[in-house]
Amino acid sequence: MTGWTRREFGAALGVMSLAAASGCGGSDDDGSASGSTGLKKVTYVTGLNVLGRESYVYIASEKGWFREAGLEVAVRPGVGTEGNLKILQSGQAEFVVVDITAGITEHARGTFKDFTVVSAVQQANLACLMALRGAGITGPKDLAGKKIGYIPGGVVRVLFDAYARKAGVDAGKITWVNIPAAQLPQALAAGTIDAATQFVVGRPQVENVGRKKAVVLPYSDYLPDLYGNGIAVTPRFAERNPDLVRKFNEALVKGIRYAIDHPDEAGRIYAKHQKLQPAVVATAEVTLMKPYVQVDGAPIGALDRDRAARNIATLRGAGAIASEIDPDGLFSFDLAPKA
Mean pLDDT (10-residue bins), the chain, 339 residues: 37 34 44 69 94 96 98 95 94 97 92 95 96 96 96 86 92 94 93 96 92 96 95 98 98 98 98 94 96 93 96 88 92 95
Rg (CA), the chain: 19
Last residue of a domain, one of 189, 204, 221: 221
CATH of the domain at 275: 3.40.190.10
Question: Are 92 and 155 part of one and the same domain?
Answer: no
Residue-level pLDDT at 155: 85
Question: Are 94 and 160 part of one and the same domain?
Answer: no
260 located within any domain: yes
Total structural domains in the chain? 2
Structural domain that includes position 144: 127-221
Question: Are 113 and 241 part of one and the same domain?
Answer: yes
Question: Are 189 and 207 part of one and the same domain?
Answer: yes
Question: Are 14 and 118 part of one and the same domain?
Answer: yes
Question: Are 234 and 117 part of one and the same domain?
Answer: yes
Question: Are 253 and 192 part of one and the same domain?
Answer: no
In sequence order, the β-bridge partners of residue 150 are 178
Question: Are 148 and 239 part of one and the same domain?
Answer: no
Closest listed residue to residue 224, CA positions, set 272, 140, 162, 152: 162
Residue-level pLDDT at 60: 98
Last residue of a domain, one of 221, 236, 254: 221
How far from 192 is each of 135, 176, 182, 257, CA to CA, in Å? 11, 12, 15, 39
